[in-house]
Amino acid sequence: MSTSNQASKLTKSAGAGVLAAIVASLCCITPVFALISGVSGIAATFSWMEPARPFLIVLTIGVLGFAWYQKLKPQTKDEIDCACEDDTPSFWQSKRFLGLVTAFAAVMLAFPTYAHVFYPKSNDQSTLLIQQDTTLTHKVVLDVKGMTCAGCESHIVHEVGKLPGIKTVNASFKDATASVEYFIAKVDEDDIVEAINKTGYTVIEDQNKSPQSIEMNDNITFYKVPLVCNAAPTIGCGSRSKPVLKDLEQSEIVNEAWLNRAGTVIAIVWQESSDFGKRRSLINKVFGKHQINASELLMNDYATNLESFNNKEGWLKGAEVDQLSKEEAGIFANKLIKTIKNKTSLTSSEESKIKEKITNTFYDFFLNYKSLNELGDPDAYQKMLKEIIAFGESVKGKGSMPSMDAMWKSCSGASKSCSHKDCSSSCKISSKS
């Protein structure tokens, strides 16, 4: 084989390797090109090529490997004898050129792993929206067809993130899903689906979640709320939920407000004449006032709660949540009595008196606290414990009661390492509530 023919074969192999590398990553390069050019609809044009990507990678490596073999293999005696002085290889036939081609091919093959850097980060709108008293959120997980790599994920995140009212958005090409949490006062699910479809990827409707399969009552809505009692995780916090239900029921557009026993869902029965705008305004106002981050329950979650609500299984209306406060006070009493009995023996009569005092003290506090800050203030609880210790000593004698520290640890359910600063009420107001 002549040197010129060998060089020509080398150049063709290099070109074929580059072409295969580009084609192998075309399904991920196209979305970036779509972003830069502003033609987002072409993003998924080459997604159909993704199944062939492993074969194209092997082809690229094979072709370039053959080119390097041709370049590096020792020449035979006939090739040396045939070589002419004018057969000096040009740049396009040199090892340097082949090295550049190989490096470029490697960059193209690795494109899916770094495609996300071409997408600007979406602005975090959640803080601004919360400041605007837009507290109701909903989370939806959509099945998306056409994603093939991390670049596709970034494209969806970028496009959906541009919508007003998006709190968080994540996409997974492996699971073929997009998960979006959004503020329902600013955007709805249809807007999100449309934004994804415009990229060229396709949201697949789940027939199992079809609204037609769920019988809805337009005058009843359910909201997921963080009102679980920390002291008793199986029940709701009556002291936290009562003022919320009270404010809702005082509105002229609300017939009834209920809390499920678990403290996880609030149900509102609306006046039939009330419109959606007034309902949304009231919800934002009341939940915002009481520092509750709520999200409306839809589809299957709605159907499950509606069935339970219609049967009135484990639902408490308005002031009925005082029952939960009574239970919570009883839980505190049981914990403290156990601590007291570790310190001193109690007759049945003494235990009954002290237990009644503890229950009434906490119950009275839960019904009459002045503010959310007071409800979560450790000082308020220590004040009650001092009163309980004093009462206990009046029954058993001076020095018969456990120390404040022992009582505090029992009351809070804290570990030995827990300090007074870390321990607070069972219904502490946290930044995540």
pLDDT digits (tens, 9 = 90+) for 297-336: 888 888 888 988 988 778 999 889 999 989 888 888 988 9
Using one digit for the tens of pLDDT, what is the confidence trace for 83-133? 554 455 666 566 777 677 677 667 665 656 655 565 555 544 443 333 333
Distances in whole angstroms, Cα of residue 404 to Cα of each of 193, 331, 392? 57, 18, 12
Q: What residue ranges in 285-336 does DSSP mark as E strands?
A: 295-296, 315-317
Token pair 């009046």: residue: 394
Mean of per-residue pLDDT scores for the chain: 74
Comparing 56 with 177, the larger pLDDT belongs to: 177
In whole angstroms, give the CA distance from residue 171 to residue 110: 20
Question: Against a cut of 0.75, is the pTM above it?
Answer: no
In whole angstroms, give the CA distance from residue 231 to residue 197: 47
Is residue 59 very low, low, confident or very high in pLDDT (cuts 50, 70, 90)? low
The SS3 call for residue 371 is coil
Comparing 323 with 82, the larger pLDDT belongs to: 323
Q: Which of 73, 429, 43, 407 minimizes the C-alpha distance to 240?
A: 429
For the chain, percent of residues with pLDDT exceeding 70: 63
Average pLDDT in the 343-355 region?
Answer: 91
In whole angstroms, give the CA distance from residue 28 to residue 46: 8
In whole angstroms, give the CA distance from residue 239 to residue 423: 18
Write down the pLDDT at residue 374.
81
Residue 412 reports pLDDT greater than 80 = no
In whole angstroms, give the CA distance from residue 167 to residue 137: 8
Residue 148 reports pLDDT greater than 70 = yes
In whole angstroms, give the CA distance from residue 304 to residue 297: 10
Write down the pLDDT at residue 206.
56
**CB within 8 Å of 157: residues ≥ 6 apart:** 119, 122, 169, 170, 171
Q: What residue ranges in 246-324 does DSSP mark as E strands?
A: 254-260, 265-270, 295-296, 315-317
Comparing 320 with 18, the larger pLDDT belongs to: 320
Write down the pLDDT at residue 371.
80
Write down the pLDDT at residue 145.
84
Comparing 104 with 341, the larger pLDDT belongs to: 341
Using one digit for the tens of pLDDT, what is the confidence trace for 273-283? 888 889 999 99
Write down the pLDDT at residue 282.
93
Sequence length of the chain is 433
Bridging pattern class, strands 295-296 and 177-183: unpaired
Residue 54 has a CB neighbour count (10 Å cut-off) of: 10
In whole angstroms, give the CA distance from residue 358 to residue 133: 39
Write down the pLDDT at residue 349.
92
In whole angstroms, give the CA distance from residue 232 to residue 66: 70
Residue 161 reports pLDDT greater than 60 = yes
Q: Counting Cβ atoms within 10 Å, is residue 177 exposed (0-12), middle (13-18) or buried (19+)? A: middle
Is residue 429 very low, low, confident or very high in pLDDT (cuts 50, 70, 90)? very low
Across 46-50, 76-80, 92-96, 165-169, least confident range? 46-50
Given a contact cutoff of 8 angstroms between Cβ atoms, the answer to whether 183 and 165 are in contact is: yes
Is residue 372 very low, low, confident or very high in pLDDT (cuts 50, 70, 90)? confident
Q: Which of 381, 44, 356, 314 minimizes the C-alpha distance to 200?
A: 44
Here the tokens at position 206 are 């789940």
In whole angstroms, give the CA distance from residue 344 to residue 328: 25
DSSP category for residue 181 = E
In whole angstroms, give the CA distance from residue 198 to residue 218: 31
Comparing 253 with 134, the larger pLDDT belongs to: 253
CA 112 remoteness from chain centre = 25
Write down the pLDDT at residue 248.
95
Q: Which of 373, 353, 361 minimizes the C-alpha distance to 428?
A: 373
Given a contact cutoff of 8 angstroms between Cβ atoms, the answer to whether 418 and 378 are in contact is: no
Given a contact cutoff of 8 angstroms between Cβ atoms, the answer to whether 375 and 230 are in contact is: no
Write down the pLDDT at residue 134.
42
Q: What residue ranges in 53-150 does DSSP mark as E strands?
A: 137-145
Across 70-74, 292-296, 302-306, least confident range? 70-74
The SS3 call for residue 418 is coil
Residue 192 reports pLDDT greater than 50 = yes
Is residue 352 very low, low, confident or very high in pLDDT (cuts 50, 70, 90)? very high
Q: Which of 263, 236, 261, 259 minimizes the C-alpha distance to 248?
A: 259
Write down the pLDDT at residue 116.
58
Write down the pLDDT at residue 119.
59
Write down the pLDDT at residue 210.
43
